[in-house]
Structure 1
Amino acid sequence: MAVSLGSSGSNAAADQANSTTSESKHGPAQMLDEHLLTPAAINSLEVHGATNTRRSLLDHIFKPLVEDSAEAGTTLGQVLTGVQAATKKLARFDIFKEEGFGVFLADAPRPDSAAPSDNTELDISVQVKEKSRLVFSAGTDFGNTEGSAYTNAVARNIFGGAETLTVNASTGTRTRSAYNAIFSTPINGNPDLRLSVEALRSATQKPWASHEEDLAGANLRLAWLTPNSDSHALSYSNAWRQLTGLAATASPTVRADAGDSLKSSVAHTFTRDRRDNPMLPQSGYLLRTVSELAGWGPLNGDVSFAKTEVEASGAIPLTIPGVAGTSGVSVGGGLRMGVLCPLPGGYSLTGAAQPSRINDRFQLGGPTDVRGFKLGGLGPHDGADSVGGDVFAAGSANMLVPLPRLGAESPLRLQLFGNAGRLVALNRSTRESKEGVLAMDSATVLGGVKSAVAELANGCPSVAAGVGLVYAHPVARFELNFSLPLVVRRGEEARKGLQVGVGINFL
């Protein structure tokens, strides 16, 4: 956001500071310091251009600033710092145009009979331009072996408090239909604390496991940003899932999980992103954790598990001898790990737990994680079906090099990469049949998880390497890679040759 600070009218404090500076022959830096240390207070503050925004929302931003300036000892520098912080906070509501901000300062008029004072009284005018309240868009996407068309409608600032309603509809070659509507609002006028409610419905074909999944549900989400720019999100989700449309060749494992299931869960997501460019990182790091608890305690539903996933990645720039400035060459790496632990329903930790379902298990492989393998190509398979796993680990290393004649500022890069991964299921032999239903006691679950984690290091993981082109668009990252599988474990499905990947989160 570009904020312009201008001044109009006479400024007695500035004249006094300039006079003092001239007499004492101070330098420009000391002139500025002395000027900013002069006592100051806000006489009035007006916001122009916020015609559709409630007064109460603006009061949350600017009223504390005006009140703080009335305290004894407040300086001009503190007032200016407070104004800048307030306008940046206002911009984070995403209802004003970034280029429309302007801040103008002027001396408040003094009555002729007023006694002389060293205190500067300021009249502040904040100029904003509101974004369009209704936005419609449509387009096409291609990525992860799927093409889709979408329409999107956004209604901003619905009730004047920076509320947003987003409605999406899409259809594609794999996702036959998907609809969702999200209503989001800031809490207590804080742009860094938002509450959202979402309703969704989708029908997705999953050819790697010979079925289709219909889903309908709702989410309640509280998201907040910490002062050091870390983001947190706490959500509650209730979703009805139907595993249907089985192919004639569907495996027994897929057929056993067919039908309806209800998942009721709470989840927490933490993200710390210190990368210079999320789509084409040249330096910095990313740390993300996702933790989910389903079906245990008061959550109900007919699936119960604890699930945790951790992701860490980073990049460092390389300096090329003889090349002035930024070379654009960087090396990076990433690591993802996850564990799913079945739990007994209710409040018990020692009762019988059902094995995880294919809906909830991890899938690994594809152009956005372990390149050189088909979607769901890693991990346990039943015949031709990828049935997922309960524990996984995957890592990658790459080098990004600018193409000749394009330079370091170009969003196009040549990529050299190597990646590896391993996906493991809980030992099937540890599952016991209880009244015709597969179940495991707590000791069996714990032993199965320990065994699966140990299995990750048993033998060489699946490995692939390759070369490709990366284009960093502001909305998504596009990759066209030629991959060569080097190690393929028995039963897994590799993919030698070209792969196209589109997404915002790559391994």
Structure 2
Amino acid sequence: MDSNDFTGYSSREIFREAMRQEEPADIGMLSAKVGGLSVKGLTRLRNGVITKLVYPMLTAKTLREVADESRELAGKLQALGIAKEAHVVLDELHSDGKGQLVNVKLLCKPMSRYIIRTEAGVDDNEGTAGVSGRLLNIFGGGETFDMNYLRGSKTQAAFQGTFSVPVDADPLKTLSITGVQRMVSNRPYSSHDEMLRSLVFDYQARDILLRSIHNVGYSLSWRNICNLGATASQALRTEAGHSLKSSVTYQATLDTRDSPRLPTSGSLIKVLAEAAGLDGIGDTRFVKSQIQLQTNQDLGGGYLVSTGVQGGLMWNLDRGKRSRLADRFFLGGSTSIRGFEYHGIGPRDGNDSIGGDLYYAAGVSLLTPLPFVTTDSLKGHVWANAGQLALLDARGLLRRSGEIHRFLMSPSAAVGVGIVYNHSVVRAEFSLCLPVIATATDRPKAGPQLGFGITFL
């Protein structure tokens, strides 16, 4: 059987039944139901899971419905990680006087029980390397356990383990628990390291037709601002030490782009909401929201235009206190607002970037064909970026009216030209940058700038 043919009709009775009709008939509309089911090749499949998976097929009333539901069953077995390959054969049809009884056979190749691999990547201008492993179909219902260990140019060490369970045998709905421990060096933009230990519970629901993802989660995070440098500012010294955050999050993503790295069409809408400390656990209380929008259009002739807007607000609920450094927004860099150093926009104390509670950013990019270049993976790039970041005071306000005007009407901005290379795993940019507006606390970066990552403004 051809591996691309999920369903084979091996019974001549189908055609004989059609020939008995006085007028041509759609074979798929013949009355039929499942008379038997056999699954071959799988050694690990729980009875409760297969019962839920086959129920829609058992309610089919026509030959077409039987075939469609059989293909759906084969696809779910693969999506759940239970079967590496799954093919369906419909045969041995018999009539019970009310229609055809169809025998369904699933010919499967089981998925490997584990995967171990080394990996290297680049994201947000950081190179990482490490090892990862995955255990698949642990209890016969598509359960997985993922582990990875990474080191990078900023990440000194990171370990993560995630156990995921499909909900109601549906590969589009998963419940997971994740444990994370990560030590990150925030130098040179801020003279400290940060240790993060988190336990995260997450429910995810995906809609393939709408291309949307919804996540609802709870996390308990223990943070430690540590290893302060000799020149660390007073703001960092005040923040140094341990803090505990208990938060509930919701994230909705609608992504119709044809590529996350260099899209030629489609749009992205991502909304994130977080509430921390409302359950009385932890020493930080806030509500936080972010939104990200991107549109992409093919102008023809190899020209593409991309526009992006994003913004965020964090409102501290502990009156008389400022937000914590570990929870704030940061802005600037080759994957954010180009033409500025990494985290080089917004409030600073001495040489340390201390982030903010309120920000916005916008960018437009024109990607062009290059002379003597035939591949679409390499493009010319003309861009303009702008944005601003502000830190609220202990009352949750900008301190002076002049700051409000500066925040709204005087964004930091830069323009530039360069080239973009779309690799299969990462997008790389080389730009010649010209900062045109910068505040006294910004760190503009004129001239050449390299950027590596997946998501760019």
TM-score by length of 2: 0.92
The structural deviation recorded for 1:455 is 4.3
The structure that is helix-richer by fraction is 1
* 1:87 is aligned to 2:69: no
Pick aligned residue for 2:7 from 5, 8, 22: 5
Helix, strand or coil at the partner of 1:101: strand
Q: Distance in 1 between matches of 2:163 and 2:98?
A: 50
Structure 1's consecutive aligned runs of 4 or more residues displaced over 6 angstroms after TM superposition are 449-453
Offset from partner CA, 1:395-454 (integer Å, 9 cap, x none): 11112234445546x43333222111111111x4xx4xxxxxxxxxxxx33x54997995
Q: Distance in 2 between matches of 1:371 and 1:18?
A: 69
Q: 1:266 to 1:299 in 2, by over 3 A?
A: farther
The structure that is strand-richer by fraction is 2
Q: Which amino acid aligns with 1:105?
A: L
Corresponding residue number in structure 1 for 2:264: 282
Pick aligned residue for 1:356 from 307, 317, 323: 323
Report if the CA contact (8 A) 1:10-1:107 is conserved.
no
The structural deviation recorded for 1:205 is 0.8
* 1:303 is aligned to 2:290: no
Report if the CA contact (8 A) 1:236-1:267 is conserved.
yes
Offset from partner CA, 1:56-86 (integer Å, 9 cap, x none): 32222112321x12xxxx2222222322333
* 1:239 is aligned to 2:213: no
* 1:412 is aligned to 2:378: yes
Pick aligned residue for 1:255 from 222, 230, 237: 237
Q: Distance in 2 between matches of 1:450 and 1:342?
A: 18
Helix, strand or coil at the partner of 1:266: strand
Q: Distance in 2 between matches of 1:405 and 1:77?
A: 52
What pairs with 1:11-22 in structure 2 (closer than 5 Å)?
11-12=13-14, 14-18=15-19, 20=21
Report if the CA contact (8 A) 1:413-1:471 is conserved.
yes
Q: 1:225 to 1:458 in 2, by over 3 A?
A: closer
Corresponding residue number in structure 2 for 1:423: 389
* 1:210 is aligned to 2:191: yes
Corresponding residue number in structure 2 for 1:101: 86
Q: Which amino acid aligns with 1:106?
A: D
The structural deviation recorded for 1:54 is 2.4
Helix, strand or coil at the partner of 1:154: strand
Report if the CA contact (8 A) 1:141-1:148 is conserved.
yes
Helix, strand or coil at the partner of 2:109: coil
The structural deviation recorded for 1:287 is 0.5
What pairs with 1:109-148 in structure 2 (closer than 5 Å)?
109=94, 117=97, 119-148=99-128
Offset from partner CA, 1:195-249 (integer Å, 9 cap, x none): 1111111111111111111112211111112463421111111111111111111
What pairs with 1:77-476 in structure 2 (closer than 5 Å)?
77-97=64-84, 100-109=85-94, 117=97, 119-207=99-187, 208-226=189-207, 228-296=210-278, 298-320=279-301, 328-344=302-318, 352-404=319-371, 407=374, 410-426=376-392, 428=393, 431=394, 444-445=395-396, 447-448=397-398, 454-455=404-405, 458-476=408-426
The structural deviation recorded for 1:164 is 0.9
Helix, strand or coil at the partner of 2:148: strand
Q: Which amino acid aligns with 2:341?
A: K
Report if the CA contact (8 A) 2:333-2:340 is conserved.
yes
Q: Which amino acid aligns with 2:431?
A: N
Corresponding residue number in structure 1 for 2:448: 498
Pick aligned residue for 2:35 from 2, 27, 43: 43
Q: Distance in 2 between matches of 1:134 and 1:273?
A: 30
Q: 1:127 to 1:479 in 2, by over 3 A?
A: farther
Q: Which amino acid aligns with 1:122?
A: V
Q: Distance in 2 between matches of 1:168 and 1:404?
A: 42
TM-score by length of 1: 0.83
The structural deviation recorded for 1:503 is 2.4
Offset from partner CA, 1:440-475 (integer Å, 9 cap, x none): xxxx33x54997995465433111222333333443
Report if the CA contact (8 A) 1:329-1:402 is conserved.
yes
Q: Distance in 1 between matches of 2:83 and 2:417?
A: 42
Q: Distance in 2 between matches of 1:404 and 1:51?
A: 56
Report if the CA contact (8 A) 1:343-1:353 is conserved.
no
Report if the CA contact (8 A) 1:166-1:182 is conserved.
yes
Q: Distance in 1 between matches of 2:103 and 2:408?
A: 71
Which moved further from structure 2: 476-485 or 38-47?
A: 476-485
Helix, strand or coil at the partner of 2:196: strand
The structural deviation recorded for 1:368 is 1.2
Q: 1:60 to 1:3 in 2, by over 3 A?
A: farther
Pick aligned residue for 1:55 from 18, 40, 47: 47
Corresponding residue number in structure 2 for 1:436: none
Q: Which amino acid aligns with 2:43?
A: T
Q: Distance in 1 between matches of 2:320 and 2:235?
A: 18
The structural deviation recorded for 1:276 is 1.6
Q: 1:5 to 1:402 in 2, by over 3 A?
A: farther
The structural deviation recorded for 1:166 is 1.0
Q: Which amino acid aligns with 1:386?
A: S
Q: Distance in 2 between matches of 1:91 and 1:46?
A: 17
Report if the CA contact (8 A) 1:391-1:452 is conserved.
no
Q: Structure 2: give runs of 5+ residues left out of the alignment.
A: none
Q: Which amino acid aligns with 1:465?
A: V
Offset from partner CA, 1:145-188 (integer Å, 9 cap, x none): 53332111111111111111111111223211111111111122
Q: Distance in 1 between matches of 2:323 and 2:4?
A: 51
